[in-house]
């Protein structure tokens, strides 16, 4: 039997009250709600209850709350926290102050990471900036390709987060909470909206790593938390099978595997006749899905239909080499196949030292492919309904740390692009030294609320019950940022 | 009287009309509290900070008082005068406001109205009320009180319970539930043959007495205790804690009373004269996630650890969610922020570090010399029976190996070589009496990384002492090129005198380990490095690799601090001693140590245990005149280690030694609680650890539960006080929470479905009296878990068939009345255990021991760092251990476990999801664990049985504890024939399939075995195998 599932619980409470005990039943509205929750409840499997979930999941939300601007999200997560001062936030005043004491008025009483107990000195950008596009968006020279598509981007210079260390900052950026067990953004989207594909997981995570500035990440960042595990992000591996256990065992070909699955199906069918356990139908369907994935995943990761010009556009040296560029092509292929959330981690941005070396290398690894992905989607007419987010879990200090910069949470830059985004704009600003978001600060909850809004979801209304509480991506906070929406 | 609104409900719900002729009266807890909790309390409840309009609805006296606007919220008996009824009915300005998206239905509004009309009677929340044992319902013809409660309710509804499950299915059910393992075919046969009245009860007793019962129960408790092998945050390094898991398993196996179990885990160290076992139990307090991330602030993380501990303890023992109260008074339950921090302050004495390292930006002198590989103190060294067995075995194996290696001299040709070597050695010792020669005529060179430092110099003294102009710095090396006596080298020895304490202000808190590396420089100038067999030292500071101590000094010697003059010696022996050819020379590269001087000597002699090389005892034997004629064992050892006579043998020797070392003399380290002076705990506004304006708090039990204990200025309550209060008579919630969770283990769903929240957002139990009866029985019966389990599994309710009853689909769709058992998919660990057990491959030799590593896809830990990690699966000695022993990596949980819904155990997990996903199908189909199990199962089947039918029959008995149905037999016989044909045509494919896993390849008719492997795969993938019906 099922362990506690929030929706099922709500259902059982309603049912019990409704059907067996209460003085009065519930009205038609509650019945509708019940049916909706019933659909959601099936997500967890439901022996003992009469209805199981259809194996395809069409989402807990019956209809969009808001106009749907984007149908999928591609989150290019620059893990480690790239410097905003060498990407999107040009601070001439900071440059002037380079090497001098950083004014105490900014930093007093503020949280620091590795600069605890250190003398604070200003570090100006080591790179020049250029204005790009009609909007004249300032982008560092390290990112010429991204600069060239500036008119497709909405740069947010006033991002803020609450967590100053990698682990918790990633948790916060992905789940809106540092409490473990909160579902990640992708899980929420999949839970709320379902996916447009039945042959692939609806939430896929790809990882790549750079030369410098590596920091660990955790599967927690794509965990479904308290939502049923079918909504978790599926990590594609760069070695071996792209998806765990998607390859047949040695000595078993596709047709003998099919025969095994057919036989399992027959056995399960006989069992269903006897016990009438409704879970069995779901199991049978999941084996069919698994078998489909066994062929759809290899087809997906086989790049032979990608023309050389396409590989060149992204700067892919060897297709499927696990590089960020190769993952960007894969991301587009996933987007084409109806995956709801695609998350690319590139671990390369934690530059406590050797900032210059690290930023140059990191930029080289992601600049061209990022721009290519956006261009490619645009050419295919898919940018209109794809939401792209590029950014780290936090930013970096305007103060130097040896030859690098420390973690910073009071201000950093990200960009979004695609469906419903006010393209060719810069939103928000920081103070003259880039220490704090000044104009139009956007916190992580706001970003989440806005992304959900672009996907047609009111962030207050995408929730699940856990331990008696309504859990949401945005918790009890979050405001939709109208200024970045078209 | 039927009002219009009510009429419409009756019309849409004819079923209700059919089943309830009379309107039952309104119950606050059943009908009103859930609605209030969901829709009202957020603004009109417990949290005074967010209370709107001064209106409070959770307390009756408050709800009857006029508000700020002089309106009276509730006038008992007079709904038309009650403001809340007016407002909820008001379409223009409704309550709750539309912005909350929590609209009341007409029926809910009517419930409210009638409740007020009936007098607005409140009831206290069921879970917090004193626990009084209810009467067992009479009139049911049953002996087990559980059945009396369940059947009384069924009788009210005119529903008949289901018949008892078939015997085979019942035995499989209870075996899986009590031990996590299926019955063997022999056990099933014995049960079927037993016609006695109490045949089933005998099986229950057998299973409860099985040591596998403790393993099964541990899976349940380890989720709650958030047991894991790694720390969880950031680098997610290993922590040493497996003895705590052994403690939990043993506690269940010895039926330790739950009050004792509680006290030992929370406060074992505070018990009088605590035993080692009781201190191991306190590992519970150390299982919060920890960090070693550079730049983390210790105070911030101590606050995080403290908060998690409150969530953990309250979830584990109170079945309650204190989490929200970290930032504000709970919205739905009477849990105040102060309760949160008072509970936290019980644990303020648990010795812990916010950041487990000594960074220059967050210095911590207590963790001097720590690295990403270090453990997480405080720890305790304890006996491990598992390791002790293996320690003894490894020693026996080593002794046998040494004896066999020494037999080499029995071979005449080898004896001649041995004689020659003995002569040469005596001559050598004539020239070099100590056996250790200083380095002579060396050319020297200093480098920083690869850069030559021409200005640096070193002095050589006659006894071999090297005195560099200044100590070797970080990444500096000293390179010496020389030729030893007769060009022969087997060992390097380094002696050091005083090791000074490093200067106080230093980036690294300890110097790099001292390390010699030796290469042969050929005539062509090319260097060929010579690997060490082993290095060991008379004393060393420990070095670790991801939490596990490294043996010897083979990979570097971390010097201990020596304050008084003392000689420390380390010796490294080459894996293959070298004899230089003409034109060749040796290069010794020294790094680390940061010493002003050290004596470096070399020898052509070696020994299996390096420090024995040219020791005085060895020298005496080597120089004895008869040493070649009747050699002492140690002389033969020296011969083997000084020459290339049997290099492969020496490799085996060192491997055997490593096996001995790995078993640590049968001991293991484990994290424990050590009490320290309590750190101050404040009430943190909005949970902000940087806000120091909140008042300091002292330990006190939750204010909303009966029998509150508070610290006084003279006496601060301890963890032990808390533990004793938890299992004291006054506290009603622990017994309810634990028995409710036990119930969920045997029926798939708790009597109150939300097992981790018994608060007002949870669920009123389906059978409140039964839950209270069980809870009181548990408490009054001395917290005897096994007795409670026995009571549950011997009930008729438990023993019912789990077949789905279509006629109950409408009356009881979620089967909450329990007119049948519920089928339940096995939990992750048991999915694997079960498959391996069926295959005859599950390793059930030992109870307890270190974590094991089942197969895992390569590269899964690629994103882990500090230190970098690779996963090496266990060899045959530990590959097929039970799932409860699987290495638990919080950030990247073993994929098979993750796919079957095992929690990461970042926090207390009282209930697992049970999903049904394609990932599960892929795992069962393709994970090498299951494919290997299938081929081993197939080999077992092929070895017995006279024909296909007989074999299929035994396959079903092993896998499902039953005989195949005719349709199954026909289908699988056909399938088998097809597979046979396939593999006969492709023998190479069959061979491949039979080689999967670390078990020796199955031998025999490979096409036949492959075909049976496919049959086994079908069975192991079937729903019936992974489900307990």
**pLDDT tens, position by position, for chain A (486 residues)?**
333 343 443 333 333 232 222 222 222 233 333 333 333 333 333 323 323 444 567 888 988 999 999 999 999 999 999 999 999 999 999 999 999 999 999 988 888 888 888 889 999 999 999 999 999 999 999 999 999 999 999 999 999 999 999 999 999 999 999 888 899 999 999 999 998 988 899 999 999 999 999 999 999 999 998 888 788 899 998 777 889 999 999 999 999 999 999 999 999 999 999 988 888 998 998 999 999 999 999 999 999 999 999 999 999 999 989 999 999 999 999 999 999 999 999 999 999 999 999 999 999 999 999 999 999 999 999 999 999 999 999 999 999 999 999 999 999 999 999 999 999 999 999 999 999 999 999 999 999 999 999 999 999 999 988 776 788 999 989 999 999 999
Chain A from 235 to 254: CB within 8 A of any B CB = 237-241, 243-253
Query: What is the count of structural domains for chain A?
Result: 3
Rounded to whole angstroms, the Cα distance separating A394 from A169 reads 7
Residue B871 has what pLDDT? 94
pLDDT digit string, tens, across residues B127-153: 999 999 999 998 778 899 999 999 999
Rounded to whole angstroms, what are the CA distances from A90 to A127, A364, A451, B252?
9, 20, 26, 63
CB-CB contact of B378 with B672 (8 Å): yes
Contact B106 A280 (CB under 8 A): no
CB-CB contact of B338 with B685 (8 Å): no
Chain B contact for A348 (CB, 8 A cutoff): no
Mean pLDDT calculated for residue range B31-52: 81
Contact B1023 A282 (CB under 8 A): no
Question: If you measure CA to CA, which chain A residue comes closest to B326?
Answer: A179
Contact B990 A251 (CB under 8 A): yes
Mean pLDDT calculated for residue range B437-442: 92
Rounded to whole angstroms, the Cα distance separating B109 from B5 reads 10
Rounded to whole angstroms, the Cα distance separating B556 from B538 reads 14
Which of B744, B820, B922 is most worth mutating to test chain A (most A CB atoms within 10 A of its CB)? B922
Residue A48 has what pLDDT? 30
Residue A108, token pair as written in the block: 């007093």
Chain B contact for A286 (CB, 8 A cutoff): yes
Which of B925, B938, B975 is most worth mutating to test chain A (most A CB atoms within 10 A of its CB)? B925
How far away is chain A from the Cα of B446, in angstroms, using its nearest Cα? 26
Contact A111 B13 (CB under 8 A): no
Contact B1014 A259 (CB under 8 A): yes
Residue B815 has what pLDDT? 93
Question: Global pTM?
Answer: 0.88
Rounded to whole angstroms, the Cα distance separating A158 from A439 reads 7
Q: How many CA atoms lie less than 13 Å away from A238 in the CB half-sphere?
A: 20
Contact A244 B899 (CB under 8 A): yes
**Alpha helices (H) in B944-1004, listed in sequence order:** 948-960, 966-985, 987-993
Question: If you measure CA to CA, which chain B residue comes closest to A265?
Answer: B1022
**Phi, psi (rounded to 5 degrees) for A44:** -95, 0
Contact B321 A287 (CB under 8 A): no
**Phi, psi (rounded to 5 degrees) for B571:** -130, 135
Q: Are residues A341 and A449 in the same domain?
A: yes
Rounded to whole angstroms, the Cα distance separating A164 from A408 reads 6
Query: Is A476 inside a domain boundary?
Result: yes
Rounded to whole angstroms, the Cα distance separating B934 from B46 reads 57
Closest by Cβ to B809, choosing from A50, A113, A117? A50
CB-CB contact of B880 with B846 (8 Å): no
Question: If you measure CA to CA, which chain A residue comes closest to B24?
Answer: A23
Rounded to whole angstroms, the Cα distance separating B63 from B116 reads 11
H/E run at residue A470: strand A469-472
Query: Is A62 inside a domain boundary?
Result: no
Q: Are residues A226 and A111 in the same domain?
A: yes
Rounded to whole angstroms, the Cα distance separating A443 from B762 reads 32
Question: If you measure CA to CA, which chain B residue comes closest to A215?
Answer: B865
Residue B698, token pair as written in the block: 């002292």
Residue B950, token pair as written in the block: 């007989």
Q: Are residues A163 and A285 in the same domain?
A: no
CB atoms within 10 A of CB B1020: 24
User: Does pLDDT of B477 surpass 50?
Assistant: yes
Residue B464, token pair as written in the block: 């071999």
Strand, coil or helix: what is A101?
strand
Q: Are residues A129 and A165 in the same domain?
A: yes
Chain A from 45 to 64: CB within 8 A of any B CB = 45, 47-50
Residue with the bigger pLDDT between B647 and A230: it is B647
User: Does pLDDT of B38 surpass 90?
Assistant: no
Contact A8 B814 (CB under 8 A): yes
Residue B489, token pair as written in the block: 């080298």
Rounded to whole angstroms, the Cα distance separating B38 from A10 reads 11
Contact B1024 A237 (CB under 8 A): no
Non-local (6+) Cβ contacts of A416 within 8 A are A153, A154, A156, A387, A388, A389, A390, A451, A484
pLDDT digit string, tens, across residues B581-630: 999 999 999 999 888 889 999 999 999 999 998 888 888 888 887 766 67
Residue A403 has what pLDDT? 93
The angle subtended at Cα A468 by Cα A467 and Cα A473, nearest 5°, is 80
Query: Is A65 inside a domain boundary?
Result: no
Contact A13 B19 (CB under 8 A): no
H/E run at residue B460: strand B458-460
User: Does pLDDT of B530 surpass 60?
Assistant: yes
Q: Are residues A230 and A260 in the same domain?
A: no
Provide the number of CB pairs (under 8 Å) joining chain A to chain B: 394
Residue A118 has what pLDDT? 87
Rounded to whole angstroms, the Cα distance separating A40 from A60 reads 5
Query: Is A59 inside a domain boundary?
Result: no
H/E run at residue B477: strand B476-482
The domain that holds A155 is classified in CATH as 3.40.720
Residue whose structure tokens are 């009084």:
B132
Indicate the pLDDT class of residue B1003, thresholds 50, 70 and 90: confident
Mean pLDDT calculated for residue range B810-836: 95
How far away is chain B from the Cα of A235, in angstroms, using its nearest Cα? 9
Look at A340-349, B770-779, B997-1006 and tell me which has the smallest mean pLDDT: B997-1006
Look at A288-297, B737-746, B1012-1021 and tell me which has the smallest mean pLDDT: A288-297
Rounded to whole angstroms, the Cα distance separating A83 from A308 reads 33
Query: Is A414 inside a domain boundary?
Result: yes
DSSP secondary structure of B203-216: HHHHHHHSHHHHHH
Rounded to whole angstroms, the Cα distance separating B735 from B130 reads 11
Residue B454, token pair as written in the block: 């021409």
Closest by Cβ to A167, choosing from B12, B103, B291? B291
pLDDT digit string, tens, across residues B824-858: 999 999 999 999 999 999 999 999 999 999 999 99
Mean pLDDT calculated for residue range B853-870: 93
Query: Is A305 inside a domain boundary?
Result: no
Q: Are residues A78 and A162 in the same domain?
A: yes
Closest by Cβ to B297, choosing from A116, A181, A229? A116
Question: Which residues partner with B524 through β-bridges?
Answer: none
Strand, coil or helix: what is B705?
coil
Q: Are residues A281 and A409 in the same domain?
A: no
Closest by Cβ to A230, choosing from B304, B824, B915? B915
Residue B16 has what pLDDT? 34
Q: Are residues A280 and A330 in the same domain?
A: no
Non-local (6+) Cβ contacts of B512 within 8 A are B474, B556, B591, B592, B593, B594
Contact B749 A249 (CB under 8 A): no
Is residue A245 classed exposed, middle or buried when 0-12, 13-18 and 19+ CB atoms within 10 A define those classes? buried
Non-local (6+) Cβ contacts of B35 within 8 A are B104, B108, B111, B112
Range of the domain at A32: 6-44
Edge-to-edge strands, sheet with B515-521 = B451-452, B443-448, B476-482, B585-591, B515-521, B527-530
Chain B contact for A115 (CB, 8 A cutoff): yes
Residue B963, token pair as written in the block: 């005989």
Indicate the pLDDT class of residue B498, thresholds 50, 70 and 90: low
Query: Is A67 inside a domain boundary?
Result: no
Closest by CA to A337, choosing from A287, A302, A372, is A302
CB-CB contact of A393 with A161 (8 Å): yes
Q: Are residues A89 and A40 in the same domain?
A: no
Q: Are residues A258 and A233 in the same domain?
A: no
Contact B813 A15 (CB under 8 A): yes
Closest by Cβ to A216, choosing from B762, B864, B1014? B864
Contact B31 A23 (CB under 8 A): yes
Chain B contact for A23 (CB, 8 A cutoff): yes
Mean pLDDT calculated for residue range B691-718: 95
Q: Are residues A139 and A203 in the same domain?
A: yes
Residue B24 has what pLDDT? 64
What average pLDDT does chain B have? 91
Query: Is A303 inside a domain boundary?
Result: no
Residue with the bigger pLDDT between B589 and B81: it is B589
Contact A24 B6 (CB under 8 A): yes
Q: Which one-letter DSSP state was computed for residue A11?
A: H
Chain B contact for A271 (CB, 8 A cutoff): yes
Chain B contact for A198 (CB, 8 A cutoff): no
Is residue B581 classed exposed, middle or buried when 0-12, 13-18 and 19+ CB atoms within 10 A define those classes? exposed
Strand, coil or helix: what is B701?
coil
Rounded to whole angstroms, what are the CA distances from B349 to B113, B227, B367, B532, B829?
52, 21, 18, 46, 35
Mean pLDDT calculated for residue range B963-970: 96
Q: Are residues A258 and A117 in the same domain?
A: no
Contact B922 A293 (CB under 8 A): yes
Strand, coil or helix: what is B165?
coil
pLDDT digit string, tens, across residues B892-922: 999 999 999 999 999 999 888 888 889 999 9
Residue A55 has what pLDDT? 57
């Amino acid at each position: 039997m099922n362990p506690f599932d929030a929706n099922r619980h709500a259902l059982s409470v309603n049912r019990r009250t409704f059907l067996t005990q209460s003085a009065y039943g519930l009205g038609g509205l509650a019945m509708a709600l019940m049916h909706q929750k019933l659909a959601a409840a099936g997500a967890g499997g439901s022996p003992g209850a009469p209805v199981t979930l259809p194996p395809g999941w069409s989402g807990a939300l019956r209809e969009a709350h808001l106009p749907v601007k984007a149908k999928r999200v591609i989150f290019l997560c620059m893990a480690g926290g790239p410097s905003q001062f060498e990407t999107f936030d040009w601070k001439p005043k900071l440059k002037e102050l380079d090497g001098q004491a950083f004014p105490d008025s900014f930093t007093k009483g503020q949280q620091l990471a590795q600069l605890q107990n250190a003398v604070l000195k200003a570090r100006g950008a080591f790179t020049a900036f250029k204005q790009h596009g009609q909007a004249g968006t300032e982008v560092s020279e390290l990112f010429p390709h991204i600069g060239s598509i500036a008119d497709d981007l909405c740069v947010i210079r006033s991002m803020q987060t609450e967590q100053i260390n990698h682990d918790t900052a990633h948790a916060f950026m992905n789940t809106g909470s540092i409490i473990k067990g909160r579902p990640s953004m992708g899980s929420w989207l999949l839970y709320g909206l379902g996916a447009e594909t039945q042959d692939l997981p609806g939430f896929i995570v790809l990882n790549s790593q750079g030369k410098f500035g590596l920091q660990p990440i955790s599967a927690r960042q794509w965990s479904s938390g308290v939502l049923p595990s079918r909504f978790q992000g599926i990590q594609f591996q760069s070695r071996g099978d792209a998806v765990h256990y998607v390859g047949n065992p040695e000595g078993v070909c596709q047709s003998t595997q099919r025969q095994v699955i057919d036989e399992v199906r027959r056995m399960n069918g006989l069992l269903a006749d006897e016990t009438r356990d409704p879970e069995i139908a779901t199991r049978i369907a999941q084996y069919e899905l698994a078998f489909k994935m066994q062929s759809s995943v290899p087809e997906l990761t086989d790049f032979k239909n990608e023309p050389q010009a396409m590989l060149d556009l992204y700067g892919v040296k060897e297709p499927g080499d696990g590089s960020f560029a190769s993952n960007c092509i894969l991301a587009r292929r996933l987007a084409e196949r109806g995956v709801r959330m695609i998350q690319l981690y590139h671990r390369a941005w934690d530059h406590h030292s050797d900032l210059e070396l690290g930023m140059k290398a990191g930029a080289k690894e992601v600049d061209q492919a990022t721009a290519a992905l956006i261009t490619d989607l645009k050419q295919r007419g898919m940018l209109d309904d794809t939401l792209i987010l590029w950014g780290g879990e936090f930013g970096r200090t305007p103060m130097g740390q040896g030859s690098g910069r420390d973690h910073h949470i009071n201000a950093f830059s990200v960009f979004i692009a695609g469906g419903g985004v006010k393209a060719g704009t810069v939103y928000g600003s920081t103070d003259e030294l880039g220490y704090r978001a000044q104009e139009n600060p956007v916190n992580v909850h706001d970003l989440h609320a806005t992304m959900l809004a672009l996907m047609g979801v009111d962030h207050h209304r995408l929730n699940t019950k856990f331990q008696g509480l309504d859990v949401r991506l945005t918790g009890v906070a979050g405001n939709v940022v109208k200024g970045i929406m078209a | 009287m039927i009002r219009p609104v009510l009429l419409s409900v009756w019309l849409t719900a004819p079923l209700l009309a059919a089943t309830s002729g009379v309107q039952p009266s309104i119950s606050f807890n059943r009908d009103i509290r859930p609605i209030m909790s969901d829709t009202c309390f957020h603004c009109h409840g417990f949290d005074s900070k967010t209370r709107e309009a001064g209106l409070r609805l959770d307390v009756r006296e408050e709800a009857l008082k006029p508000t700020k606007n002089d309106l009276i919220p509730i006038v008992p008996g007079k709904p038309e005068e009650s403001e809340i009824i007016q407002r909820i009915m008001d379409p223009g300005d409704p309550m709750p406001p539309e912005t909350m998206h929590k609209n009341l239905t007409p029926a809910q509004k009517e419930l409210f109205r009638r409740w007020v009309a009936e007098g607005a009677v409140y009831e206290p929340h069921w879970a917090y009320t004193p626990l009084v044992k209810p009467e067992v319902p009479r009139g049911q013809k049953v002996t087990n009180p559980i059945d009396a409660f369940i059947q009384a309710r069924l009788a009210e509804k005119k529903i008949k319970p289901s018949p008892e499950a078939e015997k085979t299915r019942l035995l499989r059910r209870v075996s899986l539930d009590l031990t996590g393992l299926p019955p063997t075919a022999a056990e099933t046969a014995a049960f079927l043959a037993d016609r006695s009245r109490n045949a089933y009860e005998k099986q229950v007793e057998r299973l409860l007495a099985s040591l596998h019962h403790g393993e099964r129960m541990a899976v349940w408790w380890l989720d709650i205790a958030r047991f894991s092998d790694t720390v969880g945050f950031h680098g997610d390094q290993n922590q040493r804690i497996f003895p705590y898991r052994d403690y939990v398993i043993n506690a269940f196996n010895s039926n330790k009373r739950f009050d004792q179990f509680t006290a030992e885990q929370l406060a074992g160290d505070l018990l009088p004269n605590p035993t080692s076992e009781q201190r191991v139990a306190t590992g519970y307090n150390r299982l919060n996630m920890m960090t070693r991330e550079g730049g983390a602030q210790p105070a911030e993380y101590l606050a995080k650890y403290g908060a998690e501990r409150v969530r953990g303890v309250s979830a584990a023992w109170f079945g309650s969610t204190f989490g929200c109260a970290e930032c504000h008074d709970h919205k739905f339950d009477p849990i105040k922020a102060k309760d949160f921090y008072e509970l936290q302050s019980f644990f303020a004495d648990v010795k812990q570090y916010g950041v487990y390292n000594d960074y220059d930006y967050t210095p911590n002198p207590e963790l001097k010399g720590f690295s990403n590989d270090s453990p997480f103190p405080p720890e305790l060294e304890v006996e491990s029976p598992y390791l002790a067995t293996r320690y003894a075995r490894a020693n026996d194996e080593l002794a046998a190996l040494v004896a066999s290696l020494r037999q080499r001299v029995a071979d005449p040709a080898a004896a001649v070589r041995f004689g020659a070597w003995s002569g040469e050695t005596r001559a050598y010792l004539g020239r070099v009496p100590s056996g250790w020669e200083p380095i002579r005529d060396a050319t020297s060179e200093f480098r920083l990384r690869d850069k030559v430092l021409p200005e640096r110099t070193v002095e050589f003294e006659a006894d071999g002492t090297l005195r560099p102009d200044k100590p070797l710095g970080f990444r500096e090396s000293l390179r010496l090129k020389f030729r030893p006596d007769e060009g022969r080298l087997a060992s390097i020895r380094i002696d050091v005198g005083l090791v000074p304490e490093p200067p106080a202000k230093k980036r690294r808190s300890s110097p790099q380990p001292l390390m010699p590396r030796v290469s042969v420089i050929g005539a062509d100038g090319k260097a060929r490095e010579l690997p060490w067999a082993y290095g060991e030292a008379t004393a060393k500071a420990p070095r670790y690799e991801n939490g596990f101590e490294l043996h010897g000094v083979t990979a570097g010697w971390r010097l201990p601090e020596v304050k008084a003059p003392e000689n420390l010696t380390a010796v490294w022996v080459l894996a293959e001693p070298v004899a230089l050819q003409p034109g060749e020379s040796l290069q010794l590269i020294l790094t680390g140590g940061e010493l002003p001087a050290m004596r470096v000597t070399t020898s052509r002699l070696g020994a299996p245990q390096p420090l024995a090389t040219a020791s005085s005892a060895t020298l005496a034997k080597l120089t004895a005149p008869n040493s070649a004629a009747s050699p002492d064992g140690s002389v033969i050892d020296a011969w083997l280690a000084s020459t290339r006579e049997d290099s492969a043998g020496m490799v085996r020797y060192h491997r055997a030694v490593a096996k001995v070392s790995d078993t640590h003399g049968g001991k293991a380290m484990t994290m424990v609680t050590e009490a320290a002076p309590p750190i101050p705990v404040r009430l943190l506004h909005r949970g902000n650890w940087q806000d120091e304006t909140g008042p300091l708090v002292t330990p006190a039990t939750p204010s909303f539960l009966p029998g509150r204990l508070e610290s006084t200025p003279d006496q601060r309550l301890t963890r032990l006080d808390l533990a004793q209060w938890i299992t004291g008579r006054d506290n009603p919630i622990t017994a309810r929470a634990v028995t409710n969770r036990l119930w969920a283990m045997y029926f798939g769903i708790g009597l109150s479905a939300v097992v981790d929240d018994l608060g007002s957002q949870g669920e009123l139990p389906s059978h409140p009296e039964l839950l209270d009866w069980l809870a009181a029985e548990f408490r009054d019966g001395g917290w005897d878990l096994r007795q409670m389990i026995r009571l549950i599994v011997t009930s008729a309710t438990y023993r019912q068939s789990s077949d789905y009853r279509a006629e109950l689909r409408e009356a009881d769709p979620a089967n909450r009345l329990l007119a049948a058992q519920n089928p339940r998919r096995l939990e992750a660990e048991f999915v694997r255990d079960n498959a391996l057990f069926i295959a005859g491959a599950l390793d059930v030799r030992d109870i307890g021991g270190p974590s094991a590593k089942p197969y895992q896809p390569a590269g899964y830990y690629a994103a882990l760092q500090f230190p970098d990690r690779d996963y090496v699966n266990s060899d045959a000695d530990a590959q097929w251990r039970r799932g409860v022993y699987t290495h638990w990596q919080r950030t990247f949980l073993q994929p098979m476990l993750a796919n079957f819904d095992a929690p990461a155990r970042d926090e207390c997990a009282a209930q697992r999801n049970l999903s049904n996903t394609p990932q599960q199908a892929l795992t069962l189909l393709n994970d090498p664990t299951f494919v290997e199990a299938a081929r081993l199962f197939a080999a077992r089947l092929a070895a017995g049985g006279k024909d296909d039918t007989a074999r299929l029959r035994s396959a079903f008995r092993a896998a499902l504890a039953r005989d195949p149905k005719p349709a199954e037999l026909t289908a699988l016989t056909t399938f088998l024939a097809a597979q046979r044909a396939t593999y006969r045509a492709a023998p190479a494919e069959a061979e491949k399939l039979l080689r999967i896993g670390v078990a020796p390849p199955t031998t025999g008719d490979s096409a036949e075995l492959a075909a049976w492997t496919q049959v086994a795969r079908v069975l192991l993938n079937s729903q019936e195998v992974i489900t307990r019906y």
